[in-house]
Amino acid sequence: MTVKQQQQSFFYGALLLISLMILAPNFIAEYLPTWWPGKKINLGLDLKGGSYLVLSVQTEEAVKSQLGQIAGSINNDLKKAGVVRGRQLNAREIELTSLGDRALVEIENLVRKNYPELTKGEIKNEGNRYKVTYRISEDKAETIKKDSVMQAIETVRSRVDYYGVTEPVIQRAGADRIMIQLPNVTDLEAVKKTIGSVAKLEFRLVYEASRTSPETASIKFPQKEGGEIALEDDVLMTGDVIEHAAVEISPQNNQPEVTLRLNSIGKGVFDRITGANVGRQLAIVLDKVVQSAPEIKVRIGGGSAVISGSFTKQEAKQLAVVLRSGALPAPLKHEEERTVGAALGSDSIKAGMIASIVSAIVVICFMAVYYGRSGILANACLILNITFLLASLALFGATLTLPGIAGLALTLGMAVDANVIIYERIREEIRNGASATAAIAAGFNKAHWTILDANLTTLLSGLVLFAFGTGPIRGFAVTLSLGIITTLITALYVNKFGFDIFKLRNSKGELSI
Amino acid sequence: MQIIPANTNIPFMKIRWFAYLFSILMIATSVYKWVTMGDEKFGVDFRGGVEAVVSYENKLDIAALRAKAEEAGIKDAIVQVFHGVGDRFSIRYKAEANENAKGILESNLSFSDNKARVEKLDQVGPVIGEQIRTAAYWAIFWALVGIIAYLTIRFEFRFAIGAVIALFHDVIITAGACILTGREINAGILAALLTIVGYSVNDTIIIFDRIREHILEALKKSSRATFDLSKIMDLSVNETLSRTIITNMTVMAVCLILWRLGGGAVEDMAFALFVGGIVGTYSTIFIASPIVLALEHFGNGRLSRKVDK
A324 in any annotated domain: no
Mark yes or no for CB contact A340/B86 under 8 Å: no
> Please, what is the end-to-end C-alpha distance for chain A in angstroms?
22
Mark yes or no for CB contact A344/B120 under 8 Å: yes
How far CA A114 is from CA of A71, A73, A107, A360, B177, in Å, comes to 12, 10, 11, 72, 67
- CA A479 to chain B, closest CA, distance in angstroms equals 12
CB-based contact (8 Å) between A486 and chain B? no
Q: What is the phi-psi region of residue B266: left when phi exceeds 0, alpha when psi lies from -120 to 50, beta otherwise?
A: alpha
Predicted local confidence at residue A361, as pLDDT? 92
Predicted local confidence at residue A122, as pLDDT? 83
A135 in any annotated domain: no
Please name which of A198, A216, A203, A204 lies closest in space to residue A87, comparing C-alpha atoms: A216
Which of A:153-192 have CB within 8 Å of B? 188-189, 192
3-class secondary-structure state, position B260: helix
Predicted local confidence at residue A484, as pLDDT? 93
A345 in any annotated domain: yes
* Series of mean pLDDT values for 10-residue runs along chain A (513 residues): 85 91 83 80 85 89 83 72 69 79 77 81 80 84 88 89 82 88 79 83 86 78 85 81 86 85 85 86 87 84 81 83 84 86 84 88 91 90 93 89 86 88 88 86 86 87 86 86 93 88 74 75
CB-based contact (8 Å) between A458 and chain B? yes
pTM of the model: 0.80
Q: Which chain B residue's Cα is nearest to A481?
A: B195
Among the partner residues B128, B154, B270, nearest to A453 by beta-carbon distance:
B154
Neighbours of A502 (CB within 10 A): 13
Q: How many domains does chain A have?
A: 1
Predicted local confidence at residue A390, as pLDDT? 92
Query: How much is the ipTM here?
Result: 0.82
Classify residue A57 by its DSSP letter: E
- Dihedral sign for Cα B195, B199, B200, B201, please: positive
Q: Which chain A residue's Cα is nearest to B188?
A: A473
Consecutive H or E run containing A79: helix A59-80
A163 in any annotated domain: no
- A495 Cα distance to chain centroid: 43
CB-based contact (8 Å) between A52 and chain B? no
Q: Are strands A201-205 and A282-286 parallel, antiparallel or unpaired?
A: antiparallel
* Best residue of A55, A189, A337, A408 to probe chain B, by most B CBs closer than 10 Å: A337
Q: What contacts A272, CB < 8 A, 6 or more positions away?
A: none
A451 in any annotated domain: yes
Q: Give the structural domain span for A366.
A: 3-47+341-501
A484 in any annotated domain: yes
Query: How far is it, in rounded angstroms, from Cα A54 to Cα A191?
Result: 14
Among the partner residues A336, A454, A472, nearest to B202 by beta-carbon distance:
A454
Q: Which chain B residue's Cα is nearest to A340?
A: B120
How far CA A485 is from CA of A287, A356, A492, B132, B251, in Å, comes to 54, 19, 11, 28, 18
Neighbours of A411 (CB within 10 A): 25
- Confirm if B245 and B207 have CB atoms less than 8 A apart: no
Among the partner residues B85, B154, B191, nearest to A469 by beta-carbon distance:
B191
Classify residue B6 by its DSSP letter: T
- CA B66 to chain A, closest CA, distance in angstroms equals 22
Query: How far is it, in rounded angstroms, from Cα A358 to Cα B244?
Result: 23
Q: Spell B39-77 as b/e; 16+ CB within 10 A means b.
A: eebbbbbbbbbbbbbbbbeeebeeeebbebbeeeebeeb
Which residues of chain A have a CB within 8 Å of the CB of B50?
A: none
Predicted local confidence at residue B84, as pLDDT? 59
- Confirm if A135 and A121 have CB atoms less than 8 A apart: yes
For the domain that residue A354 is a member of, what is the CATH number?
1.20.1640.10
How far CA A368 is from CA of A379, A418, A512, B4, B235, in Å, comes to 8, 15, 10, 17, 29
CB-based contact (8 Å) between A483 and chain B? no
- A392 Cα distance to chain centroid: 24
Count CA within 13 A, CB hemisphere, residue B97: 25
- Confirm if A211 and A278 have CB atoms less than 8 A apart: no
A485 in any annotated domain: yes
How far CA A146 is from CA of A62, A68, A155, A170, B201, in Å, comes to 10, 18, 14, 17, 44
- Confirm if A335 and B125 have CB atoms less than 8 A apart: yes
With a cut of 50, list the residues of chain B below it in pLDDT. 304-309
Neighbours of B283 (CB within 10 A): 24
- Confirm if A163 and A321 have CB atoms less than 8 A apart: yes
Q: Packing angle between helix A471-488 and helix A436-468, nearest 10 degrees?
A: 160
3-class secondary-structure state, position A261: strand
Q: Which chain A residue's Cα is nearest to B45?
A: A336
